Structure 1
Amino acid sequence: MRAAARWTQAHLRAHRPAAVLIVLATTGITISLLLATALFAYATDPWQRVFTQSSGAHVWIHTQGGTAAGSLAELDEVRATSGPFRTVRTTASLQPGGAKATVELRGAAQHPATATPQIVAGRWLDAGADTGATKGIVLDSSVARAMWAKPGDTLALSGIAAHLRVVGVADTAEVAFRAGESPGVGWVLPETLAASDAGRDQRGRTIGLQLTDPADTDYVVQRAVTRLGADQITDVSTWRQAKAEAEGDNQLLGRLLGLFGLGALLAAALAVGGAISTRIRGHLRDISVLKAIGFTPGQVVRMFLALHLGLALLGVALGALLTQGLGRLVPGRIGEAMALWHRLPEHAWLPLVISGGVVVFIGSATCLAAWRAGRVPPVPVARAATVTGSRTSGLTRRALGLRVPPALVLGWRGAFHRPLRSSAAVARLAVPLLLITIALGTWTTLDRFTSHPGNVGLPAALTARSDTLGDGELRQLLAPRPRMTAYPGAEEQALVPGQTGTITLRGLGTDAQPYPYAVVEGRAAHGPDEAVAGQGLLELLDAHVGDWVRMTVAGRPYVLHIVGRNIETADAGRVISTSLDTLRDGDTADGTPSGPHPPRPDFYNLVLKHGADPGAVRDALTEASAGRLEVREVPNPADQLSAVRAVSIGLIAVLILIGLAELATTVGAAVRERSRDLLALKAVGLTPRQITAVIVSATAFVTLAAALAGTALGLLASEWLINLQGRTSGWGTGIAQRPATGILLLVIAVAVTIAAIASALPAARAVRRRLADSASAQL
């Protein structure tokens, strides 16, 4: 034991920089994996927590006003119901002159026992205090955030003469409010709802169904449509939709962290395994001496494993301690995720599992290399007294004949004269560079969302609507200006074939002024009944570009021809878009007119000219309309992923540490190989400076090959992974953006420069040593 401990101590002193880099890299990998797990929990568990605490409903059915929605409680698959509630669709505005939002008012005489709203601010409705002149309302937290409303604020609602006072804000497990897509929810007393003068088309019923088996969701929706009739159902939402929206961009951030954490773990395992193999080849005589004095092969293997597992344990422990102690102090959603994770039950055991997995993975990767140490014979085999490799090749001789500097020629030969070892070194160095290229591709794609949103399905920067301005005033106010173009639009919730869910049917632009969709497959919609669809809708309907699809809106059928696929970031891509003329004036499948249409668009999408400031345009329109025009900025997914940039920097730093650790191994191998040939190189007339240049150039050539391979593969992998994420999220492929060529060339140049600098000092030290031909050993 004493001999093993002294050997380990001497080994660490001789390879101190490489040991420190391995510990730091393992620390960074552990932090990445723990943060990724916390972000996944942050993405899904808040919704699950609210759903569980509120005894949430798996399906919400919205029907016409006279529908017997309560009969759905008789379905065998239904365990409990929330409601049915009488509802009124209205527009709420914060007073005085604040934000507006579409709200579905639900009349609730008491706190629902199923799908119970969880009060997070204020209180629930009180029949004694919220009647008379001062009527109360409880808002869902998503619409309250959108309106900047809090308990005590006053709301004006269309169709209700008296203003309502916000008495509470509640969390629910339903689909969250999204302007122009899904309304918010507000609970009022039945007396307040009865005071509304809303028309029949604005009244309805809503019932939440809690199922015995959540897997029966689609089947229950079909049974509900069959029982009530497709023309009676106006909207359907399920727990899967609500959960997917709650996950949102946090899940994407967690996926990125997990991907890079696992990739960095693989790179670290390869680096550690390569380091052990290289050191074994460099210390064959020492290992032989250990065996000669009585060490068994098993003891030698265990020494190497214990050394590197000790380094891995140290790195994992540092990473776990830093994450657990300081993770909650990180600003933004990462800190919030860590704070939430500490309160979840799995936090007691999951960090131990992840930390143990990192140690086991690195340990398993080092087993083979350590096993090779046990195979070293007690008496080393004498090395052939020739220059390393074989005879000089014809290409080498021709290069020397062309007066190419000998240092470059011999460096090239020294780098690749052993193809298997050279390929292994190139592969180990290429993995960190591949992951760095993927990180740069992710960063560049986010920049594309910010700088060129029109190319990724976000041509409009603002949305404008008004309930008080006349049609003529609105059109005059939004007439084409030097800084913007206004496109009229409307949206409807449509039932898809099979009646198992709803999609968004959108009309934007006109036949004379088509909306500039980002079409990546097929072509834009031009004629009547033509439409473009998002990836999520195509997968939901199992449709392709060129197909005709049928859907119903409040019992009215629409048949549209999908002529193209556009990048669609709204509603998980489950959107089909056509012109407003087709949506408002199109005929139904049987050729009869589809009925009366609203006299004007529901909203206008404002596409700004390049360089126009959305904030300035919004302020100008608000001032010109005297506050009667509601102008909102269109949400950009990149705004929710700002943490990716900071995370990318941290991940690149971890990968650089891994690359440096592998580079230290490569430099050591090159110095050792060239040190054996110092006498021969000096005999052919090379000066010490030229011999140093040979060693440096050999390392630089290996790094150059790894950088070229890593960046090339990284470009392909980055594009594939980002488009895969776009496809699975429903946005669609075509969003990936490659890093600029100059950036990639800079990465390659920096990698080669670092390799040359890192090898210069060890090479100079090797040249200054006393030259003596020695019989070495080789495995």
Structure 2
Amino acid sequence: MRATLRWAHADLRTHRGEALFIVSATAGIVAALLLAAALFGYATNPWQRVFAQSHGAHVWIHTGPAADPGRLADLDGVEAVSGPFRTSAATVASRGARASVELRGAGAEPPATGRPLLTSGRWLTPATPDGVVLESSLARALVAGPGDSLTVPATGRTLTVVGVADSAEPRYRPGERSGTVWALPDRVRDTGDRPGHVVGLLLADPGDTDYAVQRAVTVLGAGAVTDVSSWQQARSEAQGDTRLLGQVLGLFGLGALLAAALAVFGAISTRVRGHLRDISVLKAIGFTPGQVVRVFLVQHLAFAVLGALVATVLIETLGSAVPGRLGEAVGVWQGLPGHTAALLAVPVAAVLFIGATTCLAAWRAGRVPPVPVLPTGKAPGGRLSGPARRALGLGLPPGLVLGWHRAFARGPQTPATIVRLALPLLLITVALSAWTTIARFDSKPAELGLPSALTARADSGLADREAAALLDGHPQVVAAHPGVEVAALVPGQTGTIALRGLGTRERPYPFTVAEGRAAAGPDEAVAGQGLLDLLGVEIGDWVRMTVGGHPQVLHIVGRSIEPENGGRTISTSLDTLRENDPALRATLYQLQLRAGADPAAVRAELTEASQGRLDIHEVTSPADRLSTMRGVVAGLIAVLALIGLTELSTAIGGSVRDGERNLLALKAIGLSPRQITAVTVTAVGCTALAAAVVGAGLGVPLAHWLIDAEGRSSGIGAGIAQVPSPLHLLLLATAAVLGAIALAALPAARAARRRLVDTLSAVA
């Protein structure tokens, strides 16, 4: 045992850099996997916590004023009912911000089912008749809290915020979903318009949600139901882009784990080839093959354990201090029940996976004979190929020719080294593709379903012509497309989708069509991927839906990229909807701005020009919600680069050792130490270049497929991927080659200047 420890200690002192790389790479990989676990927990559990504590309803059904939703309590499978509550629609303003809200009547005691969880302030009391409680996402949008006042421009009333509460219902989304405001029933009746009711159903079996909705709509009548939302929809929105962050971290963490395992395997294999004499000496003094295997295996397992411990300690102690969503996710994850199990399972799994890959290489070390011999008839460097001989005959520098020959004439070792080095470069290419895709939402939003920068909604006192003239008259507005967006019941009446009528046939709205064609004729429409998946339809099918009790039949002629509403949107022209309802008027305008125009400045100018009669919001880009991913991608690239450096150091060590075996021959044919150094440096550079070509060549199509697959699963749809430009790929390859050359220069120069007696002892 003492001899084993002394040999391991001597080997560690000789290869400190390689050991540090392995420890650092393992720490980075385990940290990425732990962050992925934290983000997954953060994405799911906060909503689950709110849902459980509030005894949340699985289904919320909105009806007109004439319906009697109380009858739904008698449906089979319904355990409890929240409400029904009287509702009305209104627009509220606070500190210059405006929002469409649903006023919901509630008593002095919160309901037992679907109970809002107060985060600040207090609940409603008759002592404050104008008091309201805001749902937390609406409160953030209005920058309002307890004690603040809200105004209702349509009636001139003032409401006082007395509390803010979390809810398990779908959250507020400007221009798409109204925010929830709880108020006393009398205030709901006096303040808003478009009266109605809302009822929540707590089901015995959440898996029967669609069936329960279908029965509820049948009981109430399709014309009475205006909107339906389910717990699955609310959970999906709550998870949102945080779940995407977790998926990205998990994917790259597993890829990095594989790359690191291969790098460790290559390091041990190269060390076995470079220490044949040492292994033979160990066996000559009495080490058994099993002891040799244990020496290599335990040594590298110790590196992996040390890296995993470093990562675990850093994430546990400093993870919550990371600014932004990552730090918040770690803080929430640390308080969840499964935190301890994940904190132990992830590092252990990573260490076991790395250990499994080292077993084969360590087993090969145990099979080294006490007196190593070269295979019969095989020269150390391989026979000089015909092209290499012809290149030397043409007068090309011998250092370059022999270096190229050494890089690609090492038998099966060459492709194995290229594959191990190409894997981190492949993952870096995928990470860069994710970065450029996010940047595309900022630089080219029109190509990704966001041709409009602003959405304007006119008050009831502003006529359509006056609103259109006011918007079109602004010098920075290219086009103001009138439109309307309503909730429609899908076939089977198990849920609602967004039906949009935008633009006219004379001035069509520029939908981003990824498949098929744009809607041009009567009854033609384009749909998002989420809607196609929800209904199980394809381009060319006809879809029947119910809007306010009236059927609407549309022919899907194309698939559009829809970043909002999970892609569950079908869009046609406003003229098509007016054919079914001639009295339909535009409720919103999508504004296209000139290139370089400042949306915030245009919004302020239009608001002032309309004297507050236009409610204007900036269109939210997915890039705003994915901004956290840029830091994540940068961190992943750093981890992958570290793994690449680990493999590169192994490749350099192997090439240097090959050069030491050939050093006598190279000096015998008259090569100078500088030329011998050039041989090793060229061999390493050619290996790095081949790996960069393979990594980029496979990484680009893989990144395109992965990003489009994520787009399809999220409902946005395929066609959003943006791979790095050829210039960026060239810079990546150049950086890899120049880095390899720079790292190889010093050890190659040292090896080329070794004394002949040292060389003889090394190859003996």
Smaller-chain TM-score bracket: over 0.9
Residue from 246, 250, 259 that aligns with 2:238: 246
Specify the alignment match of 1:18 in structure 2. 18
Give the 3 Å change call, closer, same or farther, for CA 95–181 of structure 1 in structure 2: closer
Q: Flag structure 1 segments of 5+ consecutive residues without an equivalent.
A: 588-593
Residue from 157, 161, 168 that aligns with 2:163: 168
How far apart, CA to CA, are the structure 2 residues paired with 1:496 and 1:509?
A: 23
Specify the alignment match of 1:87 in structure 2. 87
How far apart, CA to CA, are the structure 2 residues paired with 1:179 and 1:563?
A: 29
Specify the alignment match of 2:145 in structure 1. 150
How far apart, CA to CA, are the structure 1 residues paired with 2:276 and 2:383?
A: 25
Percent of aligned positions that are identical: 58
| Residue 434 in structure 1 maps to residue 426 in structure 2 | yes
Q: CA RMSD in A?
A: 1.8
Q: Flag structure 2 segments of 5+ consecutive residues without an equivalent.
A: none
Give the 3 Å change call, closer, same or farther, for CA 386–548 of structure 1 in structure 2: closer
1:678-721 residue CA offsets vs partner (Å, 9 max, x unmatched): 12122222222111111111111111100100011111111111
Alignment of 1:237-636 (within 5 A): 237-382=229-374, 387-467=379-459, 468-484=461-477, 485-583=479-577, 585-587=578-580, 594=581, 597-598=583-584, 600-636=585-621
How far apart, CA to CA, are the structure 2 residues paired with 1:92 and 1:625?
A: 16
By how many angstroms is 1:100 displaced? 3.0
By how many angstroms is 1:670 displaced? 0.6
1:594-634 residue CA offsets vs partner (Å, 9 max, x unmatched): 4x634x31111111111111111112112212233221111
Supply the AA of the counterpart residue of 1:178: R
1:399-453 residue CA offsets vs partner (Å, 9 max, x unmatched): 2222222222211111111231101000000011011111111111111101111
By how many angstroms is 1:662 displaced? 0.6
1:371-407 residue CA offsets vs partner (Å, 9 max, x unmatched): 1111112232256686424432222222222222222
Specify the alignment match of 2:133 in structure 1. 138
TM-score (norm: length of structure 1) = 0.95
By how many angstroms is 1:158 displaced? 6.8
1:664-684 residue CA offsets vs partner (Å, 9 max, x unmatched): 110111111121111212222
Residue from 679, 682, 688 that aligns with 1:703: 688
How far apart, CA to CA, are the structure 1 residues paired with 2:682 and 2:227?
A: 68
Supply the AA of the counterpart residue of 2:535: L
How far apart, CA to CA, are the structure 1 residues paired with 2:94 and 2:751?
A: 79
Using the TM superposition, name which of 707-716 and 644-653 deviates more: 644-653
How far apart, CA to CA, are the structure 1 residues paired with 2:101 and 2:124?
A: 21
How far apart, CA to CA, are the structure 1 residues paired with 2:395 and 2:179?
A: 78
Is residue 57–residue 203 contact of structure 2 (8 Å, CA) maintained in 1? yes
How far apart, CA to CA, are the structure 2 residues paired with 1:705 and 1:464?
A: 54
How far apart, CA to CA, are the structure 2 residues paired with 1:687 and 1:402?
A: 20
Supply the AA of the counterpart residue of 2:608: E
By how many angstroms is 1:222 displaced? 1.5
Give the 3 Å change call, closer, same or farther, for CA 675–60 of structure 1 in structure 2: same
Supply the AA of the counterpart residue of 2:519: A
1:464-490 residue CA offsets vs partner (Å, 9 max, x unmatched): 112143334312211254421211111
By how many angstroms is 1:775 displaced? 8.8
Give the 3 Å change call, closer, same or farther, for CA 180–197 of structure 1 in structure 2: closer
How far apart, CA to CA, are the structure 2 residues paired with 1:51 and 1:183?
A: 20
Supply the AA of the counterpart residue of 2:168: A
Using the TM superposition, name which of 66-75 and 368-377 deviates more: 66-75
Is residue 31–residue 320 contact of structure 1 (8 Å, CA) maintained in 2? yes
How far apart, CA to CA, are the structure 2 residues paired with 1:419 and 1:456?
A: 48
By how many angstroms is 1:553 displaced? 0.6
Using the TM superposition, name which of 402-411 and 308-317 deviates more: 402-411
Using the TM superposition, name which of 170-179 and 99-108 deviates more: 99-108
How far apart, CA to CA, are the structure 2 residues paired with 1:366 and 1:96?
A: 63
Supply the AA of the counterpart residue of 1:18: E
TM-score (norm: length of structure 2) = 0.97
Supply the AA of the counterpart residue of 1:549: V
Specify the alignment match of 1:191 in structure 2. 186
How far apart, CA to CA, are the structure 2 residues paired with 1:237 and 1:318?
A: 45
Specify the alignment match of 1:124 in structure 2. 123
Specify the alignment match of 1:29 in structure 2. 29
SS of the equivalent of 1:345 reads coil
Give the 3 Å change call, closer, same or farther, for CA 385–681 of structure 1 in structure 2: farther
Is residue 94–residue 144 contact of structure 2 (8 Å, CA) maintained in 1? no
How far apart, CA to CA, are the structure 1 residues paired with 2:517 and 2:488?
A: 23
Give the 3 Å change call, closer, same or farther, for CA 689–387 of structure 1 in structure 2: farther
How far apart, CA to CA, are the structure 2 residues paired with 1:196 and 1:746?
A: 62
Specify the alignment match of 1:590 in structure 2. none
How far apart, CA to CA, are the structure 1 residues paired with 2:760 and 2:550?
A: 91
Using the TM superposition, name which of 441-450 and 64-73 deviates more: 64-73
1:11-31 residue CA offsets vs partner (Å, 9 max, x unmatched): 111111111111111111111
Is residue 55–residue 114 contact of structure 1 (8 Å, CA) maintained in 2? yes
Is residue 103–residue 183 contact of structure 2 (8 Å, CA) maintained in 1? no
Count of matched residue positions in the alignment of Structure 1 and Structure 2: 761
Is residue 381–residue 777 contact of structure 1 (8 Å, CA) maintained in 2? no
Specify the alignment match of 1:591 in structure 2. none
How far apart, CA to CA, are the structure 1 residues paired with 2:255 and 2:12?
A: 27
Give the 3 Å change call, closer, same or farther, for CA 116–650 of structure 1 in structure 2: same
Is residue 483–residue 589 contact of structure 2 (8 Å, CA) maintained in 1? yes
By how many angstroms is 1:193 displaced? 2.9
By how many angstroms is 1:227 displaced? 2.0
How far apart, CA to CA, are the structure 2 residues paired with 1:255 and 1:197?
A: 42
How far apart, CA to CA, are the structure 2 residues paired with 1:357 and 1:96?
A: 52
Is residue 137–residue 165 contact of structure 1 (8 Å, CA) maintained in 2? yes
How far apart, CA to CA, are the structure 2 residues paired with 1:607 and 1:577?
A: 18
Give the 3 Å change call, closer, same or farther, for CA 130–684 of structure 1 in structure 2: same
How far apart, CA to CA, are the structure 2 residues paired with 1:230 and 1:775?
A: 91
How far apart, CA to CA, are the structure 1 residues paired with 2:382 and 2:264?
A: 29
How far apart, CA to CA, are the structure 2 residues paired with 1:335 and 1:28?
A: 17
